[in-house]
Structure 1
Amino acid sequence: MVKYNCYKPKTEIICSGSSEDVVGQYYQDVGRSDSQGDVDITIGEALQATALTSGEKPVEWSDAAAIHEAEVRATGRKTIMPDGITAAAQSAATRNARTTRDEDKTKLGEVLSNASTKLASDKGATRGDAESVMSVEKRDDPNFTTHPAGVATSIAAAVRLNRRQRPG
């Protein structure tokens, strides 16, 4: 049996047979819960939270880099999907760098609204995800800091909430 990630969010294709002779295939939901049935806050949901907390903040290069890292961590793919949130964030950061008036700049809320449905796949946020996204956001910020309600902060908050759900 071979499993393939699917472009349909939170699903995977299960194929039976050899790689050349597929006998049957079906779609299976990829759950977000652990063995105790607790449901984790996903990276996509944390990105959507960023849209709510920092939605009016213009997209900067550090935001685009953090969004890219978050998408890589959620999907496991390093390539940029042309219609994905990383492409939208990079395009917005490029456009915003050339725009002088803040009111004309593309905001995080525009890029990250419905982020969990725009990701090819999603997973519960982990400490490793938060550390990786925070490192990238800092690295690409001119002041080597993260935004107080930005992408890295939202993913770190999701990790803290996920940990609270699990006793011990």
Structure 2
Amino acid sequence: MSKGQQSMAEEVGEPIKYGDVFEVSGEVGRKPIAAKDAAAMQAAESMAIGNVKKGGPAALAQSAADMNERRGLLPHDAVTNVTRHDGVAISKEDLNGQRVFTEAIGVKVGGQYVQPPGTKLKSPSDDVPAEAMTIGEALEAAAGTVGDKLVDESDAAAIEAAEMRATGRGQIIARGIAAAAQSAAAHNTRVKRDEEKIKLRDILEDAKAKLQDDKAVTKVEAEGILNAELRNKEGLSPYPGGVADSIVTAARLNHEKKNLKS
């Protein structure tokens, strides 16, 4: 996004849109960049490449989404149909000895980057022991540890990030645990009596079975899920024994298991 485009958006009090940041036009270009759109892009990059590319589409989208939220132009739980309906997809092809990654936002190309010849693409799950703890198992551990915790927005954000990383999709699954967590967090803000509120146990019991797919927890997944929780809560630490804390613990245990085998 050019400084002129950013200044223009700020002057008229409009959110930063996809067309301000990416070479897209039409309906996609007119859509504002929302926080959950950026999270979906980060999940897609982490799954396909092993990390979020510095200066790549997901990093640019996150910066724009953060600015839109800080200026009060979009709520933190905002999501557009750009990622909700069409999702984010990353394809790869070999051209002249180089691996080219193309990231699509909805149906529009958001960016491309090239992997130099001879570079091995390292998956987030490379070198993880077969008996490593999975995301689903870590979520079930959270349910067992702090199952009585009332579901709030930070839990929903962390569960959404966990589901997307477990399934490899750039969007949440209809009637999945992320959708249930979002619904629970919204419900809990509307009711006054705690006994009528939905607890973490209600969402995460049997999480592994509820996920359409699952994968071992690595540092990459843990960092993404931790960031999702922290962006939606006060303070600089995850809830003790909660979603992010359990995921971080699982990643550490998996890393220790790998070192013991090496």
- TM-score range with shorter-chain normalisation? 0.7 to 0.9
Quick one: which amino acid aligns to residue 97 of structure 1? T
2:198 is aligned to 106
Q: Does 1:146 align with 2:238?
A: yes
Quick one: which amino acid aligns to residue 62 of structure 1? S
| RMSD (CA atoms) | 1.8
Q: Does 1:53 align with 2:148?
A: no
Cα displacement (A) at 1:84: 0.3
Structure-2 separation of matches of 1:123 and 1:89? 20
Measured at CA, do residues 39 and 102 of structure 1 come closer, stay the same or move farther in structure 2, by a change above 3 Å? same
Please show how residues 9-158 of structure 1 align to structure 2 within 5 Å: 38-158=130-250
Q: How many aligned residue pairs are there?
A: 136
Q: 5+ residue gaps in structure 1?
A: 1-32
Structure-2 separation of matches of 1:136 and 1:129? 11
> What TM-score results when the alignment is normalised by the length of structure 2?
0.49
> What TM-score results when the alignment is normalised by the length of structure 1?
0.76
* Equivalent pair of 2:128/2:254 in contact (CA under 8 Å): no
Cα displacement (A) at 1:145: 3.6
* Equivalent pair of 2:129/2:254 in contact (CA under 8 Å): no
* Equivalent pair of 1:38/1:165 in contact (CA under 8 Å): no
Q: Deviations over 1:5-43 (max 9, x none)?
A: xxxxxxxxxxxxxxxxxxxxxxxxxxxx97796411000
Q: 5+ residue gaps in structure 2?
A: 1-124
Cα displacement (A) at 1:149: 1.1
* Equivalent pair of 2:128/2:255 in contact (CA under 8 Å): no
Higher normalized contact order (CA 8 Å, seq sep 6+, divided by chain length): 1
Percent of residue pairs bearing the same amino acid type: 49
Structure-1 separation of matches of 2:158 and 2:128? 31
Q: Deviations over 1:78-127 (max 9, x none)?
A: 22212100010000000001111112110000000000111111000000
Structure-2 separation of matches of 1:147 and 1:137? 9
Measured at CA, do residues 97 and 119 of structure 1 come closer, stay the same or move farther in structure 2, by a change above 3 Å? same
Structure-1 separation of matches of 2:213 and 2:248? 19
- Bigger Rg, which one: 2
Quick one: which amino acid aligns to residue 122 of structure 1? D
1:164 is aligned to 256
Structure-1 separation of matches of 2:235 and 2:129? 41
